[in-house]
Chains A and B, each alone.
Chain A
Amino acid sequence: GENVEQHPSTLSVQEGDSAVIKCTYSDSASNYFPWYKQELGKGPQLIIDIRSNVGEKKDQRIAVTLNKTAKHFSLHITETQPEDSAVYFCAATSPRDDKIIFGKGTRLHILP
C-alpha cells in the first residue's frame, strides 16, 4: 500500500522568512496530493492540493511542487506570519482504492 514520509517533524522559522516541508510517497499510481493545516484542538483543514498532471500550484503565500519521477512533493510558505504556526500534513491518494494516506505531520513554529 501507499506510504508517505514527511520531513521535518518540527520546523522553526523567523517571521517573514520562508518555510519548506517535504514529502515522499511510494505508490507511483497516486495522483492527488493535498496539504492540510491543523490548529490546536481542531480537525485538519485543506490549504492547497495538487494533481499529478500539474508540476506546481500557487495560492497567495502558499505553493506546492510535485516531482512525479522522484515521487516527492513540497509545501512552500513565503513571508510567514504568526498565524501560520500549526501542524501541517501532506497526504497522497491512489486511484487503486479510495484511501487517503497522511504523513506524520510537521509542527511549524513562527518565531517573532
Chain B
Amino acid sequence: DGGITQSPKYLFRKEGQNVTLSCEQNLNHDAMYWYRQDPGQGLRLIYYSQIVNDFQKGDIAEGYSVSREKKESFPLTVTSAQKNPTAFYLCASKGQGKAANTGELFFGEGSRLTVL
C-alpha cells in the first residue's frame, strides 16, 4: 500500500541526547514536511523540503536538523539544543513540487517523543 511511515511511534530520550525520527514515503511525492504538535498549539512547521538535496527552515527550526538525500526519506534529528523537545511529531508529503504550491498533504501517524 502507498503511504507515509513514521518510526518509532513512541520514543523516550534522556536530556542532552540527540534523537532521529524516521519518515519514509512511497507515494513518489516531491515535497515533505515536519510539523510539531503540542496541546493547544496546533501544527507548527519545523522544516520542509520541496526536492531532493534541498530543504528550508519552517517557523520553529531551532534545535532541529533534517536531511533529504533520497526522495523517499526525510529524517528529523531533535538535538540537545532543542529546549523543550517533548511533543508529538508529524511528517507529511505532498505530490506537487516547487512549480505548484497547492495539493493535499498526506500525514504519517506521528512519533511521540518524551524527554525524561
Chain A residues proximal to chain B, CB less than 8 Å: 1, 6, 9, 31-32, 34, 36, 41-46, 49, 51, 89, 93-95, 97-105
Q: Which residue of B31, B35, B43, B102 contacts A31 across the interface (Cβ within 8 Å)?
A: B102
Bound form: Cα–Cα A27–B96 in Å: 21
Chain B residues proximal to chain A, CB less than 8 Å: 31, 33, 35, 40-45, 48, 50, 56, 58-59, 90, 92, 94, 98, 101-105, 107-110
Q: Is B110 a contact of A43 with CB atoms below 8 Å?
A: yes
Bound form: Cα–Cα A7–B59 in Å: 21
Bound form: Cα–Cα A97–B50 in Å: 10
A-B CB contacts (within 8 Å), total count: 64
Minimal Cβ-Cβ distance residue in A for B97? A98
Given known pairs A43-B90, A43-B92, A43-B110, the reply for A102 and B43 (CB within 8 Å) is yes
Q: Is A32 a contact of B43 with CB atoms below 8 Å?
A: no
Q: Is B48 a contact of A99 with CB atoms below 8 Å?
A: yes
Q: Is A32 a contact of B102 with CB atoms below 8 Å?
A: yes
Given known pairs A1-B59, A32-B101, A104-B40, the reply for A99 and B45 (CB within 8 Å) is yes
Q: Is A89 a contact of B42 with CB atoms below 8 Å?
A: yes
Given known pairs A1-B59, A32-B101, A51-B102, the reply for A101 and B108 (CB within 8 Å) is no
Q: Is B42 a contact of A105 with CB atoms below 8 Å?
A: yes
Complex interface: chain B residues within 8 A of A97 (CB): 56, 101
Closest beta carbon of chain B to A41's beta carbon, Å:
8
Complex interface: chain B residues within 8 A of A100 (CB): 33, 45, 94, 105
Complex interface: chain A residues within 8 A of B50 (CB): 98
Q: Is B109 a contact of A43 with CB atoms below 8 Å?
A: yes
Complex interface: chain B residues within 8 A of A104 (CB): 40-42
Closest beta carbon of chain B to A11's beta carbon, Å:
15
Bound form: Cα–Cα A44–B106 in Å: 8
Q: Nearest 6 CB-CB pairs, A to B?
A: A43-B107, A104-B42, A32-B102, A102-B43, A46-B104, A105-B42
Minimal Cβ-Cβ distance residue in A for B98? A98
Closest beta carbon of chain B to A59's beta carbon, Å:
14
Q: Is B107 a contact of A45 with CB atoms below 8 Å?
A: yes
